[in-house]
Amino acid sequence: MPSAEESPSETVISLHGVTKTYTIWDDPAARLMAPLRRLWSGGKPAAATRQFTAVKAISLAITRGECLGIIGRNGAGKSTLLQMIAGTVQPSTGTIAVHGRVAALLELGSGFNPDFTGRENIHLNAAILGLTKPEIAQKFDAIVAYSGIGEFIDQPVRTYSSGMTLRLAFAVCVHVDADILIIDEALAVGDARFQFKCHATLEQMLKEGRTIIFVSHDTNAVKRMCRTAVLLERGEVLLKGSPNDVTNIYTKLITSPHGVEAIRDDLAALRQRTETGEGRPHSGEAIDGTNSSESAGAQPPASSLPAPASLLASDLAASASENLLTEERSHQQISDKEYAYGGEMGRIETVTLTDADDQPRLAFPAGSRIRVRLSCLAAQTIPDPIYALTIKDVRGQEIYGTNTYFQNQSPPSVPPGGRVEVRFEVQLNVQAGVYFISLGWVRLVNGEVQVIHRRYDSIRFDVMPRDKSFGLAHCPTTIEVKMPASAQRPA
Ligand SMILES: Nc1ncnc2c1ncn2[C@@H]1O[C@H](COP(=O)(O)OP(=O)(O)OP(=O)(O)O)[C@@H](O)[C@H]1O
């Protein structure tokens, strides 16, 4: 298979005006009687049905080597769209062209016969996915080893836990030499170790130029895996763009009582930015109340998905660190990527970032302490307020987030016209790099987050290397090497 770099823009999946309309039966019994009824009525459609359009005139092109994330609220049409691409559901109108072998991990265990053993299901599944008998025999051991099912391979799949079923299904999917992998939420049921293994495999597949479509409610997973994301709502694509932008807007959508109305202007602004080539703004989400980006908008190429361990973070940043102080002077404290919403009930009026000596700065050595100050002004009474901060990396991944709620603090209600000063003091135990600070002022109403004001990706700052090390975190470490006295004696 050619690598993603060799044929970067080859379209492997194209959808043109794809619509899926389901017939909904008001009375389930009428559905069973429908064929007879049709005979009696001379082929006229049965009564008591209505049409429901789950996917509306979607046109999309997905290129080889792309990892496309699809997010959206429950019932948005994500699974229906995936099923149509996988070929298990036919579109009502429109066309779908798929070039290459597709392996799909849709509803968990949907490709398995529960009464068959794991072994039998591997044969069945791999054959359905297009492998010949000799190919299955050749890959069988690798599939079993990858799944980690062990001796359970000869037990019926109905006796498997959901995690075991996932392991087996995923193992088959990644061993059938598929050009396109379609995954619907499934990874969420695996344990952390298996999820890690899955993500490493997916990253490897992307590097090999394979294409992945990935549905998830986990915005961080979408930002980690994908270079492009799509926001689906009521069967329509509202936005296709950087995972950071798309998850930011999704976050607003799921927390706003006004639904799509709440994001209409944001969508228009983003589309305009895209059209005028300004790139995108912003970033990502939850009760943490916040998020950031230069960020995930500027997605790295697929080949850069896994951080090469051979590169020392300190080496990467060393050449840049000299320039940072100069660059720092030219930074605006408030990033031009800021994405804010809410603000009617109260506003986070100012945000400032300083070092531990209260000096405004935008570059800090790894491991130092920073202070983030907010000045909030209430327009109306804000009972039980929660103040939140999130730090994200340049891809929009949440590096750290906290809030007064998580810290068991109960700040007082704020009266109309009341002003609140909030100070976060953070120990920056991160590696050298570019980061963004997001801030949130929210409250919980019946367990739901009510946004007072969110300012995502408000401040961009740099962290400079403190030592030679690598990885994501700055964990100052001492190393002691001892040679026991006995080992010093010559043999
Ligand atoms: N076979 C079907 N018959 C009738 N309606 C259906 C059928 N399959 C899906 N739908 C409806 O189509 C809409 C989209 O469903 P779909 O499962 O694609 O959404 P989704 O975005 O994957 O949701 P979730 O996040 O909850 O999994 C829903 O309103 C659902 O009830």
Question: For residues 287 and 388, is the Cβ–Cβ distance under 8 A?
Answer: yes
Nearest CA residue ID for atom 2, ligand 1: 22
Nearest CA residue ID for atom 27, ligand 1: 74
> Ligand 1, closest atom to CA 24?
4
Long-range contacts of 348-351 (CB under 8 A, 24+ apart): 348/374, 348/375, 348/376, 348/439, 348/441, 348/453, 348/455, 349/375, 349/376, 349/377, 350/374, 350/375, 351/437, 351/439, 351/455, 351/458, 351/459
Distance CA 151, CA 160 (A): 12
State the span(s) of the chain assigned CATH 2.70.50.60: 302-464
Kindly give the distance from the C-alpha atom of residue 472 to the centroid of ligand 1, in angstroms, as a whole number: 39
Kindly give the distance from the C-alpha atom of residue 232 to the centroid of ligand 1, in angstroms, as a whole number: 12
Is the Cβ atom of 440 under 6 angstroms away from ligand 1? no
Assign domain 65-93+101-275 to its CATH architecture: 3-Layer(aba) Sandwich (3.40)
pTM summary value: 0.70
Q: Phi first, then psi: what are they for 293, rounded to 5°?
A: 180, 135
Is the Cβ atom of 106 under 6 angstroms away from ligand 1? no
> How would you classify the pairing of strands 386-393 and 433-445?
antiparallel
Kindly give the distance from the C-alpha atom of residue 75 to the centroid of ligand 1, in angstroms, as a whole number: 5
Is the Cβ atom of 25 under 6 angstroms away from ligand 1? no
Is the Cβ atom of 82 under 6 angstroms away from ligand 1? no
Nearest CA residue ID for atom 17, ligand 1: 79
Is the Cβ atom of 74 under 6 angstroms away from ligand 1? yes
Is the Cβ atom of 24 under 6 angstroms away from ligand 1? yes
Pocket test for ligand 1, best of 18, 49, 80, 214 (most atoms within 8 A of CB): 80
Q: Which helix (H) or strand (E) holds 440?
A: strand 433-445
Nearest CA residue ID for atom 1, ligand 1: 22
Interface pTM, i.e. ipTM: 0.96
Is the Cβ atom of 157 under 6 angstroms away from ligand 1? no
> Ligand 1, closest atom to CA 73?
25
Kindly give the distance from the C-alpha atom of residue 466 to the centroid of ligand 1, in angstroms, as a whole number: 51
CATH (residue range 302-464): 2.70.50.60
Kindly give the distance from the C-alpha atom of residue 255 to the centroid of ligand 1, in angstroms, as a whole number: 21
Distance CA 188, CA 218 (A): 9
Give the pLDDT of the chain (491 residues) as one tens digit per residue.
444 444 457 899 999 999 999 988 777 676 677 777 766 666 665 556 788 999 999 999 999 999 999 999 999 999 999 999 999 899 999 999 999 999 988 876 677 889 999 999 999 988 888 889 999 999 999 999 999 988 899 999 999 988 888 889 999 999 988 999 999 877 666 677 787 788 888 889 998 999 999 898 888 888 888 889 999 999 999 999 989 889 889 988 988 888 888 898 888 888 777 666 554 333 333 344 443 333 333 333 333 332 322 333 333 333 333 333 333 333 456 777 788 999 999 999 999 999 999 999 999 999 999 999 999 999 999 999 999 999 998 878 889 999 999 999 999 999 999 999 999 999 999 999 899 999 999 999 988 889 999 999 999 999 998 888 888 888 989 899 998 877 666 65
Is the Cβ atom of 52 under 6 angstroms away from ligand 1? yes
State the span(s) of the chain assigned CATH 3.40.50.300: 65-93+101-275
- Tokens coding 267: 């969508």
Is the Cβ atom of 20 under 6 angstroms away from ligand 1? no
The helix/strand/coil state of 221 is helix
Is the Cβ atom of 469 under 6 angstroms away from ligand 1? no
Is the Cβ atom of 77 under 6 angstroms away from ligand 1? yes
- Tokens coding 91: 């579109």
Distance CA 454, CA 442 (A): 8
Nearest CA residue ID for atom 4, ligand 1: 22
Is the Cβ atom of 356 under 6 angstroms away from ligand 1? no
Is the Cβ atom of 23 under 6 angstroms away from ligand 1? no
Kindly give the distance from the C-alpha atom of residue 46 to the centroid of ligand 1, in angstroms, as a whole number: 23
Report CA torsion sign: 203, 209, 215, 217. positive
> Ligand 1, closest atom to CA 89?
1
Is the Cβ atom of 54 under 6 angstroms away from ligand 1? yes
Kindly give the distance from the C-alpha atom of residue 55 to the centroid of ligand 1, in angstroms, as a whole number: 9
> What pLDDT, on a 0 to 100 scale, did the predictor assign at position 3?
45
